[in-house]
Amino acid sequence: EIRDYIMIDAPILGNAHLSLTNIGLYLIIAFLIIVINLGIINKLPKIIYRSWVLTKECIYDTIYSVVTSNINKNEGQIYFPFIFTLFLFILVNNLIGLIPYSFSATSHFLLTFSWSFTIVFGTMILGITIHKLRFLGLFVPQGCPLALVPFLVLIETISFLARNVSLGLRLAANMLAGHMLLVILSGFTFNIFKAGLIGILGFLPLIFIIAFSFLEFAIAFIQAQVFVVLTSS
């Protein structure tokens, strides 16, 4: 549920209503976590420093291979900072959502769809800027009969615009489904313990919740990577 934490009326902006919602707050928290981690990395103890650097290098190499394989090794260098930052931002928001009593921003379709529409719209502007009218050739398959061009252009246009939906839908749906299942299992386990069933019947759901939490941790990484893979393609 989206809630307003701070509401401000700005008469100077034409009586605009400005508000800080829980989505905005957690996006700011994710941004601060990334900035702080990048800032204090050199001040960490030696053992932690090496482990953290190794983790960052693995993430860096993974995203670099995604960009170079989907774009190319030379031109991919230009877009790598954006793709890498996007991956970190989505990953941190996914991980924040796994903390009990926190808020998962990436499980809301409003946010993920706004990201996907912005990325696809930016891709279109970039393509038109670089390729001019040749960009429209993307919607006309090579070698197709002239009579089928209008029909195929319509299909290709729908397919291209469907990326807006699939890009945002995949991320939000997977995160939302995982959180809902954890909530259901947690409530079921609580009711079992509340009823006094502390034996095997009581601990089996608890064990499953712990195992599923590790699975959700892996899904947080996978969904962030899938999002940037589709963005790069």
What tokens appear for 137 in the block?
């050739």
For the chain, the first-to-last Cα distance in angstroms comes to 32
Domain boundaries, the chain: 39-232
What pTM did the predictor assign? 0.83
Q: Would you state the pLDDT for residue 201? A: 65
User: Mean pLDDT across the stretch 136-157?
Assistant: 77
Running DSSP on this structure, what letter comes out for residue 140? S
User: Mean pLDDT across the stretch 49-73?
Assistant: 81
**Band of pLDDT at residue 32, cut at 50, 70 and 90:** very high
Determine contact, residues 84/34, Cβ cutoff 8 Å: no
Cβ neighbours, 10 Å, residue 229: 16
Q: Would you state the pLDDT for residue 56? A: 82
Angstrom distances, CA of residue 179 to CA of 44, 57, 95: 33, 29, 12
- Comparing 37-51, 76-90, 140-154, 211-225, the range with the smallest average pLDDT is 37-51
**Band of pLDDT at residue 102, cut at 50, 70 and 90:** confident
What tokens appear for 170 in the block?
């995949």
Q: How far apart are CA 225 and CA 59, in angstroms?
A: 10
**Band of pLDDT at residue 189, cut at 50, 70 and 90:** confident
- For the stretch 66-80, pLDDT in tens is 888 887 777 778 888
